[in-house]
Each structure stands twice: as structure tokens, then as C-alpha cells.
Amino acid sequence: MKLTHVAILAVLFAALMPNAVHAYLDPGTGSQLFQVILAVFVGGVFSLKVFWHRIVDYFRSLGSGSDE
């Protein structure tokens, strides 16, 4: 995408945005956001634990592949 297209889209986006947004966030929104962040973190740690040997073997193969 050309720079002029990006600039035009940015100007249109800024022109169409409302000045003030009146939104209501109930008390449960914060705890739900916390649960999502915690779930992403725990999922990442679990994925790292499951694929740890593959990750280590991949980086070992990168280090010793061209030296031989």
C-alpha cells in the first residue's frame, strides 16, 4: 500500500471519529480483562513448557549447522 493511501485512510479515520465517547464499563469488566490477561500468560507458559525441547533443539541446530 502506498504512503498516500495510508495518509488518506488516516485522515478519513480521524475525521470520522467522534469527539467524545460516553461508554459505561461495569465493575465486572476489570475482572474479566484480568482473567483474559492471566489466561494468555498461563497459556504461553504452558506452551513453552510443552515445546521446550523443540525450541532448544532448534536453536542448537542453528548454532552448529554452518560450523562443520
* Successive 10-residue mean pLDDT values, the chain, 68 residues: 85 84 82 95 94 90 69
Give the pLDDT confidence score for residue 68 in this predicted structure: 46
Tell me if 62 is assigned to some domain: yes
CA atoms of 24 and 26, how far apart (whole Å)? 6
Do the domain assignments include residue 41?
A: yes
Q: Which range marks the domain in which residue 49 is found?
A: 27-68
Number of domains in the chain: 1
Residue at 48 is within a domain: yes
2-12 burial by CB neighbour count: b if 16+ within 10 A, else e?
eeeeeeeeeee
Query: What does the radius of gyration of the chain's CA atoms come to, in whole angstroms?
Result: 23
pLDDT number for residue 20: 79
Judge whether 8 lies within some domain: no
pLDDT of residue 66: 54
